[in-house]
Each structure stands twice: as C-alpha cells, then as structure tokens.
Chains A and B, each alone.
Chain A
Amino acid sequence: MNIIVPHQIRKKELGGEVAVEVRKLFAKLKEKPELAAGISAPGLPSRTTLHKVYATTESGARRLLFFCRRPMPVPASGGVPQTPAATTDRWVLLFYRDKSDSVGKNMSPKNADFTRQLAKNLSLAIQDIANSTADNPRYDLF
C-alpha cells in the first residue's frame, strides 16, 4: 500500500507538514492493511473506495478520509506490462480532522459541509496528482 499526501492537502489538512503523529498513523495503517479488507464499494467507480479511518493520537481522536484506488488487474494473456505503480493499492489522504470537527463528526452525504469540502479536496488532489512529474512530484509518498 502506498499512502499519498498531495501537497495542497498537506497544506490544507495538515498545516503544511506531515507531523510525527501523522507519520505514525500512516505506519500503523501500512502495518495492518487487513483492517480495510473486505470493504466493498457498490456504486463507486471500479477499483475505488472511500475509507474513513477512526484513530486515536496523543492529541485526541482523529478522523481521516482516504480515496483508495486498487491496481488494475493483470491481463491473463500478458498484454502491456504494468508499471510498478499499478501493483499496489494507493491511498490518497483527503481529510485529517478532529473527531468533533464539522466534517470529522459526520462524513456522510447527509452532511452538506462534508460534501462541499470533499469536492474541494478532491479537486486539489487531482491538480497535484495530474500535474506531478517524475522530477517534480507534487505529493509526499509514505
């Protein structure tokens, strides 16, 4: 699993840098990918899920939201070789919120604030991912 933090999300959600507390959480997530196993996503674009993570840190309860993209299946008859990138799940951080924050307390379509900010953060993530190059990545990788 790769965890991707687009630079604009880093600025907006994490105050500009990925703190030790956040890095520790990412490490925990990577240790236990089975936590997310079996989460299905009917109605979503293929190979795509949104995962909400309930976490507790020294600073309090946090709610994270990740956009998760699974790799393309390997074609049975060979086909175009996959890049190394395509062989692992990619989790893009979209929210890192306090449990009591207006978004953190209710990450569902019923929450208008969540919907509005999700659209904004998806747009920021798209800008950074789409404009990244090998020489100039606009994201942090964990």
Chain B
Amino acid sequence: MKTLEDPSTKDVVAIKRTISKTLRSRLRERGVTVASIARDTGTSRTAIRRVLDEDNTSITLHTMVRTAFSLGYRVRLVLEPSIEKIERVAPPVEVEPLMRELGESLDRLPMRR
C-alpha cells in the first residue's frame, strides 16, 4: 500500500497541488464558472471540481488535460530519471589490491577547477 511517505505519492500530491492551484487561479482571472468548463469539456461539474480540488488525486489524465486546455493551458509531462536506492556491494577478494591502488591514486589526484 502506498503511504504519504512513499516518494511516488509525494510526487503525485505535489503535481496535483500545482496543477489545481494554477487552474483555479486561471478560472478566477477569467471569471468563468465550473459549469461552463464542464460544458466546454463535455464532462460533469463534479469531475471539474475534482480537477480543481488540490487534495483529490483521483482524476483521469483525460479530464485534467481537457480542463487545462479549456483554460488555455497545455499539459506536458516530463519523465526524469530517478534513483531508487543505493547499496553497498561486497567486492570480490581478487580485486582488493586493485581497489587499494585506485584509492591511493585518487588520494594523489589534485582537484580540477
């Protein structure tokens, strides 16, 4: 089960918060109603309210993108590389002299500017 501490859940919450805030702000600027957005996008007012509710992450990508589009935005998703974990590896005994040698070479290496 995903918890709030889970990094992916944190990402989802942060993304939704940003999108909802931005769209709500645009809605106010333009003076449009939830009902008119629902009409434009061919969906229900409840669905639009879910998009605008920053705590609600249960929306479809389709509804979110169409709502944003009707308010003059395009949504782009960028996938960034992620690091899941780092762990120590036990080196094979055979390479220990090489590891020692590399360590000593690194100690002698001056830092580049």
Q: Which A residues have a C-beta under 8 Å from some C-beta of B? A: 2, 4, 21, 24-25, 28-29, 32, 35-36, 39-41, 43-45, 47-58, 65, 67, 69, 72, 83-86, 88, 90, 92, 107-109, 114-115, 118-119, 122-123, 125-126, 129-130, 132, 134, 137, 141
A-B contact sample (15 more), CB < 8 A, given A44-B91, A56-B84, A85-B109: A28-B83, A43-B90, A45-B99, A51-B87, A53-B86, A54-B83, A54-B84, A54-B87, A72-B107, A85-B110, A118-B92, A123-B98, A129-B106, A129-B109, A134-B110
Dominant secondary structure at the A interface: mixed
Docked-complex contact B91 and A109, CB < 8 angstroms = yes
Instruction: Collect the chain A residues with CB atoms within 8 Å of residue B87's CB.
Output: 39, 51-52, 54
Closest B residue to A56 using CB positions: B82
Dominant secondary structure at the B interface: mixed
Docked-complex contact B79 and A32, CB < 8 angstroms = no
Report the separation of the CA atoms of residues A70 and B107 in the bound assembly, to the nearest whole angstrom: 9
Is B6 an interface residue, CB under 8 A from the partner? no
Docked-complex contact A52 and B106, CB < 8 angstroms = no
